[in-house]
Amino acid sequence: MKEIFSNPDFKLGVLGGGQLGKMMLAETRRYDIYTRVMDPAADAPARLAANEFVQGSLTDYDTVMKFAQGLDVLTIEIENVNVDALEDLEKSGLKVFPQPSALRIIQNKATQKSFYGENGLPTSKFFTFNNKAELLEGLKEGNWEPPFVWKAATGGYDGFGVNIVRTADQIDELPDQPGLVEAFVPFEKELAVIVARNEHGDVVTYPVVEMEFHPTANQVEYVLCPATVDADIEEKARNLAVQAIEAYGLVGLLAVEMFQTKDGEVYINEVAPRTHNSGHLTIESNFTSQFEQHVRSVTGMPLGSTQLRLPAVMANLVGEDGHSGNVQYDGYQNLLSMPGVYIHLYGKSTTRPFRKMGHVTVTHTDRSEARAAAERAKDSIRVISRS
Ligand code: ADP
């Protein structure tokens, strides 16, 4: 294998140059690993840290094929890429991690959910359909009654494409498209585990985090680590993440979102085959951040320690409602003097309501102090548009 550090002949390609790419490239810069990044936006957040930046479509076959010429390893920071191209590149001998076979299953929520059923991974009861007629038939056949959850097979993210159906008349309004229906889980907590696997089959898991959602935006507002769960839940959740990454045979990172039920069960909700919002706090709170771990796992390096250094709470900074246009950050001045507070701004030039624009991580020996400080931080920073 080629030497990967400080070697311009070793090239790591990354499809997607958003904030996840930007934070990953902080690590490739630290290790001096040569990167080529592609994103459709000319002002993509990751553009400055890349050795080469290409503006182009991630979903266009020819563009992806051309981008990959001369790379040693190709990885992603977003799932919505042309998988046909990745398959052909893999066939031609390029290392593509995560593998296109796993990406194809995960890209579609219906095939993703069916995969859990086929592989014995605990998940809520469900059925899949191709259109509204099949949906209605499935509801009738299975005697489904609200509440249940409808999910679009493709095209949804951050809560878009997910409908919690609480009353029978909401069924009429559901769109005519492929998707799945699953049982509503009256969960105690939403948890996530990031797990990494390299080509040698080594696997490590991060400590379980707990997610708190914004009451109306259906978006994660805070991520907390360690999760306040019993040791047996921690173990179940970490084991489930290992089972999932091994079932996919995936090389790279898998972020596994889970529900902890009131009776102590842990179910898989969904996975992302890449770095994830629930792992941002690992930058400050763990020995190896998820971004470094991603780079290590796809380049065949030994995996790093996932041990927690300090409890941490991450708050997403999203665009304020009612503001669209060139971004301006207000009210961060007093945060800069608070110990253990780390501000990350993604470098997106324009804001819109609830767009992820940055995050703040607070570390503290006492998790509840970190939670309180994260809330203060979030309340004082405002992401607005410049008038
Ligand atoms: P997205 O890809 O948009 O993040 P998710 O499948 O994670 O979609 O769903 C978004 C949110 O909707 C979840 O974080 C959870 O709060 C809620 N949700 C999803 N599925 C269920 C379910 N089966 N039972 C209860 N709540 C659910």
Binned at pLDDT 50, 70 and 90, residue 160 comes out as: low
The bridge status of strand 12-15 relative to strand 35-39 is parallel
Specify the CATH architecture of the domain 125-183.
Answer: 2-Layer Sandwich (3.30)
pTM for the predicted model, two decimal places: 0.96
| 160 CA to centre of ligand 1 in angstroms | 10
Share of the chain above pLDDT 90, in %: 94
* Residue 35 Cβ < 6 Å to ligand 1: no
Domain 125-183 identical in fold to domain 187-385: no
| 204 CA to centre of ligand 1 in angstroms | 25
Supply the pLDDT for residue 158. Answer: 55
CA angle 60/96/256 to nearest 5° reads 95
Span 3-39, pLDDT tens digits: 999 999 999 999 999 999 999 999 999 999 999 999 9
**Residue 331 near residue 182, CB atoms below 8 Å:** no
Provide φ and ψ at 271, rounded to 5°.
-130, 160
* Residue 272 Cβ < 6 Å to ligand 1: no
| 232 CA to centre of ligand 1 in angstroms | 23
Peptide bond into 226 cis (omega under 30): yes
Give the tokens for residue 360. Answer: 């703040």
Most ligand 1 atoms within 8 A of CB, residue of 124, 125, 149 to mutate: 149
Contacts of 4 (CB under 8 A, 6+ apart): 10, 12, 31, 33, 72, 299, 301
Q: What is the C-alpha to C-alpha distance for residues 339 and 326, in angstroms, rounded to an integer? A: 30
* Residue nearest atom 2 of ligand 1, based on CA coordinates: 157
Q: What is the C-alpha to C-alpha distance for residues 362 and 374, in angstroms, rounded to an integer? A: 6
Q: What is the C-alpha to C-alpha distance for residues 143 and 136, in angstroms, rounded to an integer? A: 10
Task: For residue 211, give the ligand 1 atom closest to its CA.
Answer: 14
| 385 CA to centre of ligand 1 in angstroms | 30
| 150 CA to centre of ligand 1 in angstroms | 10
* Residue 182 Cβ < 6 Å to ligand 1: yes
Please give the class, per CATH, of domain 187-385.
alpha beta
CATH no. of 12-96: 3.40.50.20
Supply the pLDDT for residue 159. Answer: 56
Q: Where are the domains of the chain?
A: 12-96, 125-183, 187-385
Span 107-134, pLDDT tens digits: 999 999 999 999 999 999 999 999 999 9
3-state secondary structure the chain: CCCCCCCCCCCEEEECCCHHHHHHHHHHHHHCCCEEEEECCCCCCCCCCCCEEEECCCCCHHHHHHHCCCCCEEEECCCCCCHHHHHHHHHCCCEECCCHHHHHHHHCHHHHHHHHHHCCCCECCEEEECCHHHHHHHHHHCCCCCCEEEEECCCCCCCCCEEEECCCHHHHCCCCCCEEEEECCCEEEEEEEEEEECCCCCEEECCCEEEEECCCCCCEEEEEECCCCCHHHHHHHHHHHHHHHHHHCCCEEEEEEEEEECCCCEEEEEEECCCCHHHCCHHHHECCCHHHHHHHHHCCCCCCCCCECCCEEEEEEECCCCCCEEEEEECCHHHHHCCCEEEEECCCCEECCCCEEEEEEEECCCHHHHHHHHHHHHHHCEEEECC
Span 131-158, pLDDT tens digits: 999 999 999 999 999 999 999 999 765 5
* Residue nearest atom 3 of ligand 1, based on CA coordinates: 159
Does position 87 have pLDDT exceeding 90, yes or no?
yes
Does position 337 have pLDDT exceeding 70, yes or no?
yes
**Residue 223 near residue 314, CB atoms below 8 Å:** yes
* Residue 256 Cβ < 6 Å to ligand 1: no
Supply the pLDDT for residue 156. Answer: 64
| Across 303-307, average pLDDT | 98
* Residue 149 Cβ < 6 Å to ligand 1: yes
Most ligand 1 atoms within 8 A of CB, residue of 269, 274, 354 to mutate: 269
| Across 201-218, average pLDDT | 92
Q: What is the C-alpha to C-alpha distance for residues 383 and 65, in angstroms, rounded to an integer? A: 38
Supply the pLDDT for residue 321. Answer: 93
Most ligand 1 atoms within 8 A of CB, residue of 150, 162, 212 to mutate: 162
